[in-house]
C-alpha cells in the first residue's frame, strides 16, 4: 500500500515538476528553428549532427525555467550537460527535493507516516534522454522540441489527471 501511495505521489509530483506555473511576466523563448536554422525533426532536416548545446544555452539564457548543469566530459572531450526544466521555485529548491528522493529511495529508518509525508512534499525528477548513439539523429532533435515546449508553454493543467485520484 505504501508503495502504491509513493508511486501515485511521485507521478503527481512529476506532473507538477514538469508543468511549471505561469511566470509573472511573459518571457521571449527562442523557437528551435531560430537557433538551428531549420525546423527540427522533419524528414528533410534530420542532419547527422545537431547543435543541441547552442539551443539549450539559448533556452537557458531566455528563461528562468531551465537550468543547465555540467556533468562531465564526453569521450570526445566535449562538455556534457543536462537540462533541468521546472518552475523557478522548484529549481531553487532542487537540492531539497533531491534529498527527499534519496531518503525515500534508501528508506532506512522511515516509518510509513514519514515516507508518506516525504512523498507528499517531494517532487519527482524525471530523466528523459534524447539519444546517446551518434547514428540516432531524431532523438536529439526531439529533445530540443520537448525542452522548448516545456520552457515556452504558459499553460497550466486545468484538472487533475484521473490516475492521481
Q: What is the mean pLDDT of residues 82-94?
A: 91
Looking at the chain, the whole-number percentage of residues with pLDDT higher than 90 is 31
Nearest CA among 125, 127, 82, 83 for reference residue 100 = 125
pLDDT at 38: 67
Phi, psi values for residue 79, rounded to 5°: -65, 135
The predicted model scores a pTM of 0.63
More confident position, 164 or 74: 74
Is the pLDDT at 132 greater than 70? The verdict is no
* Residue 67 neighbours by CB distance under 10 Å: 16
Write the DSSP string, 113-160: HHHHHHHHH-----------STT-HHHHHHHHHHHHHHHH-----SS-
Looking at the chain, the whole-number percentage of residues with pLDDT higher than 70 is 65
Q: To which H or E segment does residue 83 belong?
A: strand 79-85
**Three cell numbers at 39?**
525546423
**Secondary structure (3-state) at 80:** strand
Beta bridge partners of 70: 81
Is the pLDDT at 77 greater than 60? The verdict is yes
Longest dimension (CA), the chain: 56
Sign of CA dihedral 12, 13, 14, 15: positive
Amino acid at each position: 500500500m505504501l508503495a502504491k501511495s509513493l508511486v501515485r505521489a511521485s507521478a503527481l509530483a512529476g506532473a507538477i515538476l514538469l508543468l511549471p506555473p505561469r511566470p509573472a511576466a511573459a518571457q521571449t523563448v527562442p523557437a528551435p528553428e531560430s537557433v538551428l536554422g531549420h525546423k527540427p525533426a522533419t524528414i528533410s532536416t534530420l542532419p547527422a549532427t545537431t547543435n543541441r548545446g547552442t539551443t539549450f544555452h539559448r533556452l537557458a539564457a531566455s528563461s528562468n525555467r531551465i537550468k543547465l548543469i555540467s556533468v562531465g566530459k564526453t569521450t570526445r572531450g566535449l562538455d556534457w550537460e543536462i537540462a533541468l526544466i521546472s518552475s523557478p521555485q522548484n529549481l531553487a529548491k532542487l537540492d531539497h527535493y533531491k534529498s527527499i528522493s534519496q531518503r525515500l529511495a534508501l528508506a532506512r529508518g522511515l516509518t510509513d507516516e514519514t515516507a508518506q509525508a516525504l512523498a507528499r512534499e517531494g517532487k519527482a525528477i524525471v530523466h528523459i534522454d534524447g539519444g546517446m548513439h551518434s547514428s540516432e539523429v531524431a532523438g536529439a532533435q526531439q529533445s530540443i522540441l520537448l525542452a522548448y515546449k516545456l520552457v515556452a508553454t504558459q499553460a497550466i493543467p486545468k484538472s487533475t489527471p484521473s490516475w492521481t485520484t
